[in-house]
């Protein structure tokens, strides 16, 4: 079984992709119960930090390796090594856990299914907009010097309706009212779709 200490060493993007694929594909070693309860350890580290960091790195043309930083260190959660040997440090936050998002995990754990109480697209967009803005506000207020990028992990917007472009458009409209960011860039990972926010 993979240990967090292994994820704190530089891992090439191809090896990181293999590691993540093996984790998500092996529900015997990594059972759903551990995954959905956010059991401490690798069942939290890979889906909530390592995999989103990989998605962001795959979005950066000169990225070659990634690693998580020790959980005991305040500030960034991970780093991306670029071709010129410089590092980009990344703060990762999971907006899905805000404003009742944890109920999705509980339903998946208890019943194996999830039925959203938000059926109207505008309600879905509003709920998700609020939790992403909450994440931005929280992480800007708790910014740690030496952190370059903020990565917000959110659910996919590929639902075959107007969540995309509705949610990104709503975010774009809301951000001018926010103070200038302390991060050099902010990204949102909508599932595996990583987009620059500002």
- Non-local CB neighbours of 5 within 8 Å, separated by 6+ positions: none
Q: Residue 190 — left, alpha, or beta (φ > 0 → left; ψ -120 to 50 → alpha)?
A: beta
Query: Does 69 score more than 50 pLDDT?
Result: yes
CA atoms within 13 A on the CB side of 159: 16
Work out how many domains the chain is built from and give that number.
Answer: 1
Task: Tell me what pLDDT residue 120 has.
Answer: 78
For tokens 């580290």, name the residue: 45
- Non-local CB neighbours of 116 within 8 Å, separated by 6+ positions: 124
For residue 110, what are its two tokens? 């208890």
Task: Tell me what pLDDT residue 38 has.
Answer: 53
For residue 111, what are its two tokens? 């019943």
Cis peptide before 165 (omega within 30 of 0): yes
The SS3 assignment for 90 reads strand
For residue 49, what are its two tokens? 């930090």
Q: Are 80 and 53 in contact (CB under 8 A)?
A: yes
User: Each residue of 144-178: pLDDT tens digit?
Assistant: 999 999 999 999 998 656 789 999 999 999 999 99
Task: Please give the model's pTM, rounded to 2 decimal places.
Answer: 0.84
Distance CA 82, CA 89 (A): 11
Which among 39, 38, 6 has a CA at the least distance from the CA of 20? 6
Domain of 100, in residue numbers: 4-196
Distance CA 96, CA 127 (A): 10
Task: Tell me what pLDDT residue 118 has.
Answer: 46
Q: Are 133 and 173 in contact (CB under 8 A)?
A: no
User: Each residue of 100-149: pLDDT tens digit?
Assistant: 554 444 444 444 454 555 467 888 899 999 999 999 999 999 999 999 99
Query: Does 13 score more than 60 pLDDT?
Result: yes
Longest dimension (CA), the chain: 48
193-196 and 87-94 strand pairing? unpaired
Q: Are 123 and 143 in contact (CB under 8 A)?
A: no
């Amino acid at each position: 079984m993979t240990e967090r200490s292994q994820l704190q060493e530089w891992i090439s993007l191809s090896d990181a992709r293999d590691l993540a694929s093996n984790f998500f594909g092996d529900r015997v070693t990594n059972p759903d119960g551990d995954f959905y309860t956010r059991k401490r350890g690798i069942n939290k580290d890979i889906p909530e930090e390592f995999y989103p960091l990989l998605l962001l790195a795959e979005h950066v043309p000169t990225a070659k390796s990634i690693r998580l930083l020790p959980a005991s260190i305040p500030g960034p959660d991970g780093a991306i090594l670029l071709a010129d040997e410089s590092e980009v440090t990344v703060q990762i936050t999971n907006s899905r856990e805000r404003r009742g998002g944890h109920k999705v995990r509980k339903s998946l754990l208890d019943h194996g299914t999830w039925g959203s109480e938000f059926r109207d697209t505008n309600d879905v967009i509003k709920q998700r907009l609020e939790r992403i803005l909450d994440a931005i506000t929280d992480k800007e207020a708790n910014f740690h010097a030496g952190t370059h990028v903020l990565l917000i992990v959110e659910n996919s917007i590929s639902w075959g309706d107007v969540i995309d472009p509705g949610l990104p458009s709503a975010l774009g409209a809301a951000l001018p009212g926010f103070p200038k960011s302390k991060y050099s860039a902010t990204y949102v990972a909508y599932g595996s779709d990583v987009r620059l926010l500002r």
